[in-house]
Chains A and B, each alone.
Chain A
Amino acid sequence: MATRTYISNDFINGAKANTPIGLSVFAYGAVLGMLCAQKGVEIYQLTLMNVFIFAGTSQFIIVDKWNNISEIFTIVAAALLINLRYFLIGASLNSLFKKSSLRDKFIYMHLVADENWAVTIERSKRESITPLFLFGGGICLFSIWSIGTYIGYIFSGFISDPSKYALDFAFIAIFTALCFNLYQGKRNLIPWLIAAVVAYVTEYLFGGNLYIVLGAIAGSLVGVILEAKK
């Protein structure tokens, strides 16, 4: 019984910890909902995407190309390229899932988004948590995200430009704050700098979303090279 209480606490703590970032997830969802209404996406199609894809940026890509939906290969490739970072995100969750069953891994991984992943990784450096923390965050974000998209869809004519209030910057600000919290000292400086520079240059030269994955791989490789020497 004691274990059960502990586990459900982790779920609730995860949901709570993701509520602040939910503000920007809500705004982001509302923008997608508005876009869906304008492009003629049906509510059931939006719902299918929210439930089964649950990856905001790739949903934007699909909706953005809604009028050229017959280009199946191009759209699927673009969406999956953007979601390529989820492979690295999954890999970085290895130690959190160390004691989990295969069944838990299959269930909990679906609701992993950038936000609850970042919140979970940062929390796991400070205290001992279970994958339920991640899952609680996922359920929280899924609810907020879905409500945001429906509200945007219904009120598509009323919501003015969210960028005026810098709501689009909210998740960037949170990611930056979480990143600073992961700083472990001077040995991180060069790998972090390399990641930032590679990401910036790649984005500048090629656009798209490949820069996220390339920057992370470059920075992490430099970290390995520098620390393996010692």
Chain B
Amino acid sequence: MNNHELYALIIILLVSIGTYGLRLSGLLLSGKISDEGKIRIFLDYLPPTLLLSFVTPVILREGLAGIFAIFFIAVCMYKTKNVFLSMVIGVVTIAISRNFFY
């Protein structure tokens, strides 16, 4: 085994342990928290705000097409509650914009 392979293995090992540690410790520490009060509200808000934070910069980077895509997704989800259909509509909107307007 050469140095490069050894370094790669060390990195893979450390990132594996760290990532699993983050996943598990988040769950185990939250279990110590009671059902009531401010921390509960905080944890309830985490999923949607995490998703929003994830997508907002990417959507805005797409410009007008991104805004349109989100609008169509919102309408589709409101009318049909169908996640897959909403995804297709969003992807097609962006694909059309990238292939015909740039």
Residue numbers of A with Cβ under 8 A of B are 20-21, 24, 45, 48-49, 52-55, 58, 62, 66, 69-70, 72, 75-76, 79-80, 83-94, 97, 105-106, 109-110, 112, 114, 117-118, 121-122, 163-167, 169-170, 172-183, 188, 191-192, 195-196, 198-200, 203-204, 211-216, 218-221, 223-224, 227-228
Contacts and interface: CB of A to CB of B under 8 A. Distances in A.
A87 B25 contact: yes
Interface in B72-102: 73-74, 76-78, 81, 83-84, 86-87, 89-92, 94-95, 98-99
A185 B83 CA distance: 20
Contact of A191 (B24, B29, B45): B45
Give the dominant DSSP class at B's interface: helix
Nearest to A182: B48
Give the dominant DSSP class at A's interface: helix
Given A76-B11, A169-B90, A109 B23 contact: yes
B47 interface: yes
Interface residues of B, number: 69
A183 B50 CA distance: 13
A164 to B, nearest CB: 7
Q: Of A21, A203, A216, A227, which is in contact with the most chain B CB atoms at under 10 Å from its CB?
A: A216
Interface in B26-55: 26-31, 33, 38, 41-55
A181 B74 CA distance: 9
B46 A88 contact: yes
A13 to B, nearest CB: 14
B51 A178 contact: yes
Given A112-B23, A173-B91, A92 B50 contact: yes
